[in-house]
């Protein structure tokens, strides 16, 4: 007798074992995450076989542990001939996650391990930045790895005795690491060190003003021309996108946001449905440090987003505008936007200045400058709070200008 689990998911017989009562809810959860019917069938059938195996070994629902999935996979490999077990591992991981989320089984505690003293000190500093300084998560994520590396450089895996720190330790660490880093990363490293050393001095762990010992990284004002994608390359890229598919409509809308509004990859990734005011044609963008920027929504960008929302975006409870195309359906991440740009450029055969998303931001600013926009106007569109940040786009490419120079009358002298 056949047993219907979820719409088109049918088992040859009624499920057995401790998980039989949870298979329908498991199937519904997979369906809500956007899995196709075929993938859903495979995962439910694997869960049913696992439940039957648990019954044979007398394991109750509350006694299930992740180790049981490992034992089951070994059993399948040894005893099941002529059937592939390639999907079992992922399906069982999804099943265990579902059972934990439903409270059927307890979350297992990870094996305790010795946390290095340097890591404990770095995490205490992170809590200080978050709770006392109220810094945004991105800043903390950028600062803490440098501090962790500094502590490891000074103390290794041993005890962290901050009172033993000396100026030579600070200078040695910067001299070792600065040459390996991009200029901006090197400056970020020294900023993080000064912050940390002021923090430990305020706590009384050190008495010396070691923050003053942090070397200054040489800062040549705007050393290079911004790498901007050209207007022709942008048009070629947008024309190469197949907008007859759901993925194509999504990618086109993302690339158009980058090109027409100069948004950062994170600003595109974290854009939510409520950030779009269709009535007034406004876009509310979350910029750096949490600030909000209201930007006009160009007609072509709005049309592209609407096309994706109506005929491309998968059904989901997520409020993010752009979602992954494959299950589990989740919101885009900043790295995902960068990967999308890289793949799109490769498919279009475009030899762009870089493979990242930031070149569209440079490209928009350069085009605005060429059309006579002021520094303040460009900064307003890009969300710059400091005019100095925008001035990088006023730099002149001397090598390119030489090709436009008129010959000196009478020839070279």
Domain regions of the chain by residue span: 3-101, 117-213, 231-359
Identify which of 53-62, 97-106, 233-242 has the greatest average pLDDT. Answer: 233-242
Instruction: Give the list of residues 6+ apart from residue 33 with CB closer than 8 angstroms, or none.
Output: 327, 328, 329
d(CA 40, CA 14): 17
Token pair 């960008």 is at which residue? 301
Is 231-359 a CATH 1.10.443.10 domain?
yes
Question: Tens digit of pLDDT for each residue in 351-380?
Answer: 888 778 888 887 777 777 666 666 666 665
pLDDT at 316: 84
pLDDT band, residue 190 (cuts 50/70/90): very high
Helix H or strand E encompassing 285: strand 282-286
Does residue 91 contact residue 55 with C-beta atoms inside 8 Å?
no
Catalytic residues: 264, 288, 358, 361, 384, 393
The pLDDT value given to residue 401: 45
Q: What is the pLDDT of residue 222?
A: 47
Q: Above pLDDT 90, what percent of the chain? A: 28
Mean pLDDT over residues 270-290, rounded? 84
What pTM was estimated for this model as a whole? Answer: 0.57
pLDDT grade, residue 106 (50/70/90)? confident
117-213 and 231-359 share one CATH topology?
Answer: no
Which has more pLDDT, 385 or 51? 51
Measure Cα distances from 245 to 125, 268, 347 in Å: 48, 20, 16
Q: What is the mean pLDDT of the chain?
A: 81
Q: What is the rounded CA–CA span in Å between residue 198 and residue 211?
A: 6
Beta bridge partners of 293: 285
**For residue range 326-359, what is the model confidence (pLDDT) as tens digits?**
877 888 765 788 889 999 999 999 988 877 888 8
Q: Which two tokens stand for residue 232?
A: 């022709």
292 beta partners: 286
CB 52 within 8 A of CB 16: yes
The mean per-residue pLDDT over the stretch 372-389 comes to: 61
Residue 293 has pLDDT above 60, yes or no: yes
Q: CB 362: neighbour CB atoms within 10 A? A: 20
pLDDT tens digit sequence for 209-220: 999 989 888 665
Q: Looking at residues 80-88, what average pLDDT do you find?
A: 61
Sheet containing 282-286: which strands, arranged edge to edge? 276-277, 282-286, 292-296
pLDDT value for 397: 47
Contact 261, 281 (CB under 8 A): no
Q: Which residue has the tokens 């070279």?
A: 412
User: What pLDDT, in 10s, does the model give residues 139-187?
Assistant: 888 899 999 999 999 998 889 999 999 999 999 999 898 888 878 888 8
Asked whether the beta carbons of 388 and 268 are under 8 A apart, the reply is no
> Residue 221 pLDDT > 60, yes or no?
no
pLDDT exceeds cutoff 60 at 224 = no
Q: Looking up tokens 């590396």, which residue turns up?
A: 149
Between 235 and 396, whose confidence is greater? 235
Q: Given this model, what pLDDT does residue 349 score?
A: 92
Q: What is the DSSP letter of 211?
A: G
Q: DSSP letter string over 33-97?
A: TT--HHHHHHHHHHHHHHHHHHHHTT--GGG--HHHHHHHHHHHHHH--SS--TTHHHHHHHHHH
Q: Which fold has domain 117-213?
A: DNA polymerase; domain 1 (1.10.150)
Determine which of 26-35, 188-197, 388-397 has the lowest per-residue pLDDT on average.
388-397
Tell me which DSSP letter residue 413 carries.
-
| Cα 111 versus chain centre, distance | 28
- Check if the beta carbon of residue 94 is closer than 8 Å to that of residue 116: no
- The residue written with tokens 């010992």 in the block is 213
Higher pLDDT, 5 or 32: 32
């Amino acid at each position: 007798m056949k047993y219907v689990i979820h719409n088109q998911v049918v088992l040859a017989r009624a499920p057995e074992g401790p998980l039989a009562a949870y298979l329908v809810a498991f199937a519904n959860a997979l369906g809500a995450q956007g899995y196709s019917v075929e993938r859903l069938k495979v995962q439910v059938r694997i869960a049913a076989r696992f439940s039957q195996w648990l019954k044979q070994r007398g394991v109750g629902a509350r006694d299930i542990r992740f180790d049981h999935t490992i034992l089951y996979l070994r059993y399948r490999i040894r005893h099941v001939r002529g059937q592939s077990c390639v999907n079992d591992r992922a399906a069982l991981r999804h099943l265990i996650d579902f059972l934990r989320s439903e409270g059927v089984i307890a979350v297992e505690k990870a094996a305790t391990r010795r946390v290095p003293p340097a890591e404990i000190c770095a995490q205490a500093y992170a809590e200080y930045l978050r709770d006392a300084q109220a810094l945004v998560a991105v800043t903390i994520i950028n600062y803490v790895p440098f501090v962790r590396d500094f502590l490891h450089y000074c103390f290794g895996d041993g005890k962290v005795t901050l009172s033993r720190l000396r100026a030579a330790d600070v200078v040695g660490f910067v001299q070792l690491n600065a040459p390996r880093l991009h200029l901006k990363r090197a400056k970020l490293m020294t900023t993080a060190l000064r912050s940390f050393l002021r923090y430990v001095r305020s706590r009384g762990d050190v008495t010396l003003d070691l923050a003053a010992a942090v070397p200054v990284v040489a800062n040549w004002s705007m050393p290079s021309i911004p790498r901007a994608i050209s207007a022709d390359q942008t048009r070629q890229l947008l024309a190469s996108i197949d907008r007859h598919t759901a993925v194509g409509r999504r990618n086109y809308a993302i690339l158009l946001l980058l090109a027409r509004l100069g948004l950062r990859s994170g600003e595109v990734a974290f854009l939510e449905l409520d950030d779009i005011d269709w009535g007034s044609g406004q876009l509310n963008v979350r910029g750096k440090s949490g600030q909000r920027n209201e930007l006009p929504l160009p007609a072509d960008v709005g049309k592209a987003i609407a096309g994706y929302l109506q005929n491309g975006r998968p059904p989901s409870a997520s409020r993010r505008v752009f979602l992954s195309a494959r299950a589990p359906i989740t919101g885009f991440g900043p790295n995902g936007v960068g990967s999308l740009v890289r793949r799109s450029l490769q498919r279009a055969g475009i030899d762009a200045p870089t493979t990242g998303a930031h070149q569209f931001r440079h490209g928009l600013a350069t085009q605005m400058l060429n059309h006579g926009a002021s520094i303040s106007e460009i900064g307003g569109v890009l969300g710059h709070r400091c005019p100095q940040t925008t001035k990088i786009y006023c730099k002149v490419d001397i090598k390119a200008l030489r090709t436009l120079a008129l010959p000196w009358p009478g020839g070279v002298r």
